[in-house]
A and B are shown apart, each in its own frame.
Chain A
Amino acid sequence: MPNGIVAGADPHGHGHHPALQHHFQTLDQQHEASTLGMWVFLVTEVMFFGGLLMAYLLYRVWYPEAWAEGSLDLDIRLGGFNTVVLIASSLTMALAVRAAQTGAQRATVRWLLATMVLGVTFLGVKVIEYAEKFELHHVPGANFVYEGPHGRQVEIFFSLYFGLTGLHALHMIIGVGLLSVITWMASRGRFSTEWYTPVEISGLYWHFVDIVWIFLFPLLYLVDRAHHFA
């Protein structure tokens, strides 16, 4: 009789790993199911951001001049800085997962804290960028002001800018919240070389959010920069 079924018959005082849930045969099987579940969720996230990117693409085709103008209004230094910060946070996250895999508890906590600090730094820079847009009345809506012949179309650019970066920032906030729970669990010694699945799937989520920004940075800040003065 397989081990899992014996364990299921006697929920307490049994001889298997405490993290193994009774509907799984082995920890490996449970790990594979958890990882796959996270990937399926990330596929739905790709579709979620994909719809907005489709809108971005179409309006860019229609209003290239407005896209160039709006793109030039974004601060490439802040955007570039944030790109470096976020990619660095992906590195620290990958190292956190590695530390969990090798059973290095203190290193896991340290790398997770570093990841959260970088994530919060990203959000802080985003606050500075948003505040500037508010001051300049570049936030779409009744108070939107933009000089020039393409004002209304630049408003569409900024709608998509706020839509895309706002949803991305929301994902970052959720990610930091997720990591604080994982960090707490790690500091309590909940993970071992046999079971570190929560660290790994939180990492998958964090890397996905990084990938979204890898596309948003060139699409919003970069692509039309060179054409404006042509």
Chain B
Amino acid sequence: MAGHISPKRLYYTIFTALMVLTAITVAVAFVNLGTLNFPIALGIAITKATLVILFFMHLKYSSRLTKLVCGSAFFFLLVLFGLTLSDYLSRGWHTAPGGVSTGAGTRVTIGSASAQPAPGATDAPAGAGR
């Protein structure tokens, strides 16, 4: 059969790399880097996932059709996150003519722990009201 057989050493190397990346992401979690903590943790997770997909799941040696299918998952994931956040994060940037500014939404930034007072935090989710 046409399946690609990787040498055992490759699997051990990838495993070691995944362990090292896990150690790094745990270590970094205890260092306060402000807004950078989130993107760094996510970046390491994406790197680890890529290693698993390419070598453990053999995507590197798969057909182009399989690669396209795999890529489509992440494309649509980005569409989901991108379009949803473009709505929620931009609420409150402008008030429409004749509109009221109260309860129209909150301008928020990802990752900063002190930037937003989370209005309406005691009762309803902020930005949920129109």
Q: Which residues of A contact B (CB under 8 A)?
A: 27-28, 31-32, 35-36, 39-40, 42-43, 46-47, 50-51, 53-54, 57-65, 68, 76, 80, 83-84, 87-88, 90-91, 93-95, 98, 101-102, 150, 152-153, 193-196, 200, 203-204, 207-208, 210-211, 214-215, 217-219, 221-227, 230
Contacts and interface: CB of A to CB of B under 8 A. Distances in A.
B96 interface: no
A58 to B, nearest CB: 6
A46 B56 contact: no
Q: Secondary structure at chain B's binding surface: helix, strand, loop or mixed? A: helix
B2 A28 contact: yes
Interface in B53-94: 53, 55-58, 62-63, 65-66, 69-70, 72-74, 76-77, 80-81, 84-85, 88-89
Nearest to A218: B41
Contacts of B118: 62-65
Contact of B5 (A83, A101, A219): A101
Nearest to B32: A226
Interface residues of B, number: 64
Interface in B88-130: 88-89, 108, 110-113, 116, 118, 121-122, 125-127
A39 B69 contact: yes
A194 B14 CA distance: 27
Contacts of B29: 76, 218, 221-223, 225-226
A28 B15 contact: no
A39 B77 contact: no
B22 A215 contact: no
Contact of B63 (A32, A50, A194, A204): A32
A62 B126 contact: yes
B88 A61 contact: yes
Nearest to A228: B113
A46 B65 contact: no
Contacts of B34: 227
A47 B73 contact: yes
Nearest to B115: A64
Contacts of A94: 11, 55-56
Given A28-B2, A63-B121, A102-B5, A50 B80 contact: yes
Given A39-B70, A40-B69, A68-B113, A80 B77 contact: no
Contacts of A43: 69-70, 72-73, 76
A50 B3 contact: no
A90 B11 CA distance: 10
**By CB atoms of chain B within 10 A, which of A27, A43, A196, A210 has the most?**
A43
